[in-house]
Chains A and B, each alone.
Chain A
């Protein structure tokens, strides 16, 4: 009798545990489907809304006044210029700082502090960077400018490059450094000629990720490079950029502007996805070799 009851008790307990496991498994599956579904939903909406507007005119014509046809040439060129400027400013600083952390000061207190601060900068709100550049560049200069926009983006580039450079240089085997030193190569040459070469794929990945990160950034550009309706490649004046144009056009009441905003959004997303997939592929081949 007692044995039977115990048996029953164990049985029901076992079934309850099984049920709970099934429930959790189902929920996990549902959560994953939700996450993937969302990616599909967003990409689908982008393709649906943006693809119809995609034409040659988008890449050859200027942004139109409301109610007429046009393209996105000036914001595309502006975005490319701002991105290039940010990479040119941010990459050397990032690589040098990462080099110090991985090579000279791997066990320094300074490195620990810089790593901590860098990781915080990595996720710091980008709109605050915009305010910062406004304070130190736009306000003293008295006008909005492409330079300010580029520097604001560079501030976002630096932490990404620092992080990947340090990680990748740390992975370079010490035997390489020892070999370089044993033939009498000075430390600086050992780093630039040997370690950089060994870590090249990873470091390029860092730069690609940085480009991906900044190419959709809007918040730091709103009050640094502002916007420009007209063709301008003057970095000392307000300059148009894709994200800011998308922001302005999407929130406007005009249908053509909204359509152009969708097309711009599609272009940016495709560029960013292509960059991040390339970066991943680079890391994968780097790991194999």
Chain B
């Protein structure tokens, strides 16, 4: 290594002493120390970066290890069994998986169009000075902890639905052939539909903010060209902006889906925690995360605990795949925007 590179700092380090004794040996010592510190710091940061990978692997390994007893007992049937009986120690994941998928589906059904429309409003319609405040307000929705949504859902939103939307759905759609059973049964207030709607509010900000960012990244030339041939604002967004930003929008939607699938507290409050698959969306059900949150501390026996951890493993695998796809898509659009 070129020793002159470290010269001035080594001199500063020596400063006063250098005046008294400009001993070459002492200088070399200081340089060595700096070099050593440098290498140590580099390795330390590297170790921390690798630590992030270790963390993820540790999560996966510990979940797999914890779920072995349950998987050994029930095999692949665990995924497809509808029974969940802690007393006889027979466990199946199907009701929880079903609830997780259905509530997330309801959430996306509402959050995607609303989120995209807000992004349309923020990029094309909103006056410039209002964009930032409204954007921040929508993002604040994402900052509210999920337990707040839970308590609000249980005490405010569920009773409201019980008195308004649910009786309406039962009266109108409940008697229609084929789709009737989907809206059948008494209005409990809590249930799959309520949980799905709360999830929709919670993931809305993710869809909005990512869509807004990718909408804004569309080259102005493209939009100006479309406006130039007389397109309306909606046509520009629908036929120019949206196709161009497609990959990013889908990435944002997947990210929101990942959130919805794993969301725990808000759902636990309003899902009703019933281990069965009902045709009706108004009926109580359960999700993977709600089951774990409700039952883990009370689980007695290794098999019960292990079955809950196996549920956690299923949840982790599903969200991992969804989030990986989301990140891959967002990475692609990031590269294109450069």
Contacts and interface: CB of A to CB of B under 8 A. Distances in A.
Binding between chains A and B: yes
Interface of A: 17-18, 20-21, 24-25, 27-32, 34-36, 38-39, 41-42, 45-46, 49, 92-94, 96-97, 99-101, 103-105, 110-111, 113-114, 116-121, 123-132, 134-136, 155, 158-159, 162, 183-189, 191-192, 212, 215-219, 222-223, 226, 243, 246-247, 250-251, 258, 261-262, 265, 268-269, 272-273, 276, 280
A81 to B, nearest CB: 18
B269 interface: yes
A131 B125 contact: no
Shortest 6 CB-CB contacts between residues of A and residues of B: A216-B145, A125-B262, A96-B48, A188-B41, A100-B45, A31-B117
Nearest to B149: A42
A100 B49 CA distance: 7
Interface string B48-63: 1111110110110011
B148 A268 contact: yes
Which secondary structure dominates where chain B touches chain A? helix
Contacts, number: 274
A180 to B, nearest CB: 10
A121 B48 contact: no
Interface in B105-140: 113-115, 117-118, 120-122, 125-126, 134, 136-138, 140
A131 B148 contact: no
Nearest to A34: B114
A183 B11 CA distance: 11
B292 interface: yes
B34 A186 contact: yes
Contact of B118 (A32, A104, A212, A226): A32
Interface of B: 5-10, 34-35, 37-38, 40-42, 44-53, 55-56, 58-59, 62-63, 65-66, 113-115, 117-118, 120-122, 125-126, 134, 136-138, 140-141, 143-152, 154-156, 201, 204, 208, 232-235, 237-238, 255, 258-259, 261-265, 268-269, 289, 292-293, 296-297, 308-309, 312, 315-316, 319-320, 323-324, 327, 331
Nearest to A21: B232
- Among B48, B50, B265, find the residue whose CB has the most chain A CB atoms closer than 10 A: B48
7 contacts: A21-B232, A31-B118, A34-B114, A96-B45, A101-B49, A128-B315, A223-B296
Given A123-B259, A135-B66, A188-B41, A273 B232 contact: no
A128 B316 contact: yes
Contacts of B149: 42
Contacts of A124: 59, 262, 316, 319-320, 323
Given A121-B56, A128-B316, A97 B292 contact: no
Nearest to A27: B117
Contact of B152 (A24, A45, A104, A258): A45
Nearest to B323: A120
A121 B55 contact: yes
A33 B280 CA distance: 30
B296 A32 contact: no
A49 B155 contact: yes
